[in-house]
Amino acid sequence: MAQPGGDLVVVGAGGFGRETVDAVRAMNACGASWRLLGYIDENPSLAGTQIDGVPILGGIRELSGLSDAFVVVSTGRPDNYVSRPRIVAELGLPVERYATIVHPSAAVSASSRIGVGSVLLACVVLTSAVTVGSHVVVMPHVTLTHDDTIDDFATLASGVCLGGQVRIGRAAYLGAGALIREGRSVGSCALVGMGAVVTTDVPAREVWAGVPARRLRAADIPELAP
């Protein structure tokens, strides 16, 4: 299979953006040919600086002069985990402009599928017939087992483990070390806390935590564009 490559811009210069850059470097060490042009970040104090040798190009408007570059949106803190849908909608780019970044240490089965713009970091495992949507974030040491479905814009923090036939809804966030029992679902824009053990379905736009996980409150997040 041909190795990916081309000019690449990373949107977001925070921790996840930096992790994405290091995944890109690992891909290049294994034969890919991405040319990192720099970060795009709306923080004006970062413009013109560098992070680990990668320049901050400026805000989103700078993309207008980079029409041939691929883009990956690498944002999404736990306190703002629905930022990617907003940014992707604002960019309005065709799907072919988005890069998909998969760390070379990830184990992705031939029967699994990964959507455009998604990022899989080190030591992620997709066992059998796993479907990962577009602009999904999968942090290190996440295990997705048979027939799991991860909808667009979801975030799975480090160490998350899903049983078989689990569905994670659009723009949901699973905190580090969360465990989801087989056959269960987490609704769109829901937030599951760190180390939670989910044994029943989690409704959309709710915050759940604990062992076993229980509802804490409604998720205080803005409505998303369709």
Q: pLDDT digits over 62-115, tens only?
A: 998 998 999 999 998 888 899 999 999 999 999 999 999 999 999 999 999 999
Quote the mean pLDDT of the chain.
95
- Identify the band that residue 225 occupies on the pLDDT scale cut at 50, 70 and 90: low
When pLDDT is averaged across residues 158-166 and rounded to a whole number, the result is 98
Identify the three-state secondary structure at position 165. Answer: coil
Residue 222 has pLDDT above 90, yes or no: no
- Identify the band that residue 226 occupies on the pLDDT scale cut at 50, 70 and 90: low
Cβ 128 vs Cβ 147: under 8 Å: yes
In sequence order, what are the residues at sequence separation of 6 or more whose Cβ sits closer than 8 angstroms to the Cβ of residue 85? 135, 152, 153, 170, 171, 224, 225
In sequence order, what are the residues at sequence separation of 6 or more whose Cβ sits closer than 8 angstroms to the Cβ of residue 106? 120, 121, 122, 123, 124, 125, 126
Identify the three-state secondary structure at position 63. Answer: helix
- Identify the band that residue 3 occupies on the pLDDT scale cut at 50, 70 and 90: low
- Residue 1 confidence (pLDDT): 40
Query: Which of 108, 118, 195 has its CA nearest to residue 151?
Result: 118
- Residue 47 confidence (pLDDT): 87
Provide the whole-model pTM: 0.94
Question: What b-and-e string marks burial along 131-145, b requiring 16 or more CB atoms within 10 Å of the CB?
Answer: bbbbbbbbbbbbbbb
When pLDDT is averaged across residues 10-28 and rounded to a whole number, the result is 97
Residue ranges of the chain that CATH labels 2.160.10.10: 101-208
Residue 23 has pLDDT above 50, yes or no: yes
CATH number of 5-97: 3.40.50.20
| Architecture label for domain 101-208 | 3 Solenoid (2.160)
- Identify the band that residue 10 occupies on the pLDDT scale cut at 50, 70 and 90: very high
- Residue 105 confidence (pLDDT): 98
Tokens 């081309």 sit at which residue? 6
- Residue 79 confidence (pLDDT): 85
Q: How many CA atoms lie within 13 Å of 157's alpha carbon, on the beta-carbon side? A: 19
Residue 224 has pLDDT above 80, yes or no: no
When pLDDT is averaged across residues 193-209 and rounded to a whole number, the result is 98
Q: pLDDT digits over 115-150, tens only?
A: 999 999 999 999 999 999 999 999 999 999 999 999
Residue ranges of the chain that CATH labels 3.40.50.20: 5-97
Tokens representing 32 are 């890919």
**Which runs of E-coded beta strand occur in 59-160?**
70-73, 101-102, 107-108, 113-114, 119-120, 125-126, 131-132, 137-138, 143-144, 149-150, 155-156
